[in-house]
């Protein structure tokens, strides 16, 4: 496989002495060269928008395509058009592969203008980019069946056969360094992914089932990951009556209420995730995976999150990598502070919780997880997240300490747990986290 996009763009920037920008044929940003000029006028709104939003407007696209860049086989010079926000002359290098345009390299045209020899050398690099884009486009469309089979098969002969087919399809690249990415929820089984995903070796859709809870989210099974925990709570509002915290170490009587709004069956059919096998150059640099995840989340739409597995060389543990990536996406869904991109190595207790089979909530917390007590559950979780420090918890919740003490006493009454006991705290903390999954 040819080099990384960023390296190729930097090579063009060095050849022509100007920052280059690479976009796909849909004008989606792939990579851009560093801009080190102190002259603000050197940046116009079109380039700035492309870098900041990773795409160009339909009007800008129509303007540039009007100069024949979709048909050009060599550099195209495009004059400035201040009315369209194009304040600087540009040079467009079409990126083609076997006669098909796959993208564009853009440069701001300035004195001294690039020579014919420089532009010829830059077009040779653009041809290498075209080959890379074509390889990745084929990977996205041609290997989806092989990747899906590997991600959904149980360990055994079917998994071994699926890996063999995927290795054969990938060729030598199969033994390289990869990271698995999970983007969820994906719009649908047949929803198209971007035509090019930087560094993607293969991608496919797989069934995805979000956990259920009082808000009515779907529930079900996750390929390779076991049945998901049900439950959850909505963040409540309102204020508890002020009062002192109950003292004493004995367990309080459990509340007699059963958990309400808890899902009891499987559902959520038709919900999908996108699995992406991303090539890496170094195990300590997940930037290619993060870039691919960001682009795909934009495609998936609002609310989509992504999880990234630990880097691995070769495909032997692809099922484990998928479980890690899925766990990251689940954790980012349950705990937005971890997302929208969550690396498995950084999701803390969710590494353990997402690996557990689906279970009903512990009896001690069922009453606490009802919608009527959502504020108490939230208070207990924040208290435990802050290591039981009342001052920090009260500040985080924006309440008086006496209000906090009253709520914690109510938590003890509902659960029968003693918040002065370490094991009871652990049980409550894990139960609250698991309920969000």
Asked if residue 148 has pLDDT above 60, the reply is: yes
Domain termination residue (choose one: 138, 171, 197) = 138
Domain containing residue 131? 5-138
Q: What would the pLDDT profile of 201-250 be if each residue is shown by its tens digit? A: 888 999 886 544 333 333 333 333 333 333 333 333 333 332 333 333 33
| 33 and 116 part of one domain | yes
- Strands of the sheet with 20-24, listed across from one edge: 29-32, 20-24, 100-108, 90-97, 76-78
Mean pLDDT of 127-152: 81
Which range, of 31-35, 368-372, 378-382, averages the lowest pLDDT? 31-35
Q: What is the pLDDT of residue 194?
A: 59
Does the pTM of the predicted model rise above 0.85? no
| 341 and 366 part of one domain | no
| 237 and 331 part of one domain | no
Domain termination residue (choose one: 332, 353, 374) = 353
Q: What would the pLDDT profile of 96-114 be if each residue is shown by its tens digit? A: 988 888 899 999 887 788 8
Q: Is residue 257 part of a domain?
A: no
**Radius of gyration of the chain, Cα coordinates, nearest whole angstrom:** 27
| 431 and 369 part of one domain | yes
| 110 and 197 part of one domain | no
Residue with tokens 């989210």: 217
pLDDT band, very low/low/confident/very high, at 253 (cuts 50, 70, 90): very low
| 85 and 133 part of one domain | yes
Q: What is the DSSP string of 352-406?
A: HHTTSPP-PPPGGGTTTTSGGGHHHHHHHHHHHHTTT-HHHHHHHHT--HHHHHH
Residue with tokens 């050009």: 72
Judged by DSSP in three states, 176 sits in coil
Q: Which residues, 6+ apart, have CB-to-CB distance to 126 below 8 Å?
A: 12, 93, 94, 95, 96, 105
Number of domains in the chain: 3
Q: Is residue 51 part of a domain?
A: yes
| 295 and 421 part of one domain | no
Q: What is the pLDDT of residue 267?
A: 35
CATH number at residue 45: 3.30.450.40
| 20 and 124 part of one domain | yes
Q: Is residue 134 part of a domain?
A: yes
Q: What is the pLDDT of residue 2?
A: 39
| 415 and 300 part of one domain | no
Q: What would the pLDDT profile of 298-309 be if each residue is shown by its tens digit? A: 888 888 999 999
Q: What is the pLDDT of residue 240?
A: 34
| 41 and 127 part of one domain | yes
Q: Is residue 259 part of a domain?
A: no
Q: For residues 435 and 199, what is the distance between their CA atoms, to the nearest angstrom?
A: 36
Q: Which of 235, 230, 212, 213 is nearest to 336 (CA)?
A: 235
Residue with tokens 């349950």: 334
| 197 and 272 part of one domain | yes
Q: Is residue 196 part of a domain?
A: yes
| 372 and 298 part of one domain | no
- What are residue 96's DSSP bridge partners? 101
Q: Which residues, 6+ apart, have CB-to-CB distance to 375 below 8 Å?
A: 236, 237, 238, 240, 407
């Amino acid at each position: 496989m040819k080099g990384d996009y960023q390296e190729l763009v930097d090579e063009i920037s060095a050849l022509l002495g100007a920052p280059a920008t690479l976009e796909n044929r849909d004008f989606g940003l792939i990579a851009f060269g560093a801009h080190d000029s102190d002259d603000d006028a050197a940046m116009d709104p079109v380039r700035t928008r492309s870098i900041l939003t990773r795409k160009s407007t339909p009007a800008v696209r129509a303007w540039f395509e009007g100069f024949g860049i979709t048909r050009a086989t060599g550099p195209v010079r495009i004059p400035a058009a201040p009315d369209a926000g194009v304040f600087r002359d540009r040079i467009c290098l079409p990126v083609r592969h076997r006669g098909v345009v796959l993208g564009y390299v853009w440069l701001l045209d300035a004195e001294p203008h690039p020579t014919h020899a420089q532009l010829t050398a830059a077009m040779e690099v653009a041809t290498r980019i075209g080959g890379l884009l074509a390889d990745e486009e084929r990977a996205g469309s041609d290997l989806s069946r092989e990747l899906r089979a590997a991600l959904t098969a149980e360990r055994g002969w079917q998994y071994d056969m699926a890996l063999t087919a995927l290795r054969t399809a990938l060729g030598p690249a199969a033994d390289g360094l990869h990271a698995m990415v999970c983007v969820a929820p994906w719009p649908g089984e047949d929803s198209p992914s971007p035509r090019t995903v930087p560094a993607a070796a293969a991608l496919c859709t797989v069934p995805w089932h979000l956990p259920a809870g009082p808000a009515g989210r779907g529930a079900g099974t996750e390929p390779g990951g076991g049945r998901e925990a049900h439950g959850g709570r909505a963040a409540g509002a309102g204020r508890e009556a002020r009062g002192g915290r109950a003292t004493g170490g004995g367990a309080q009587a459990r509340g007699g209420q059963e958990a309400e709004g808890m899902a009891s069956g499987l559902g959520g059919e038709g919900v999908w995730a996108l699995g992406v096998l991303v090539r890496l150059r170094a195990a300590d640099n997940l930037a290619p995976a993060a870039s691919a995840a960001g682009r795909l989340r934009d495609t998936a739409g609002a609310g989509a999150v992504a999880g990234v597995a630990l880097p691995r060389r070769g495909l032997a543990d692809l099922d484990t990598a998928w479980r890690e990536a899925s766990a990251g996406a689940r954790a980012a869904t349950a705990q937005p502070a971890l997302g929208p991109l969550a690396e498995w190595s950084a999701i803390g207790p969710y590494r353990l919780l997402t690996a557990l089979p689906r279970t009903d909530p512990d009896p001690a917390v069922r009453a606490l997880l009802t919608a009527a007590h959502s504020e108490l559950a939230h208070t207990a979780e924040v208290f435990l997240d802050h290591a039981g420090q009342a001052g920090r918890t009260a500040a985080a919740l924006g309440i008086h300490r006496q209000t906090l003490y009253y709520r914690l006493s109510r938590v003890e009454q509902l659960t029968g747990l003693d918040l002065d006991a370490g094991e009871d705290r652990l049980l409550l903390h894990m139960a609250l986290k698991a309920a969000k999954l």
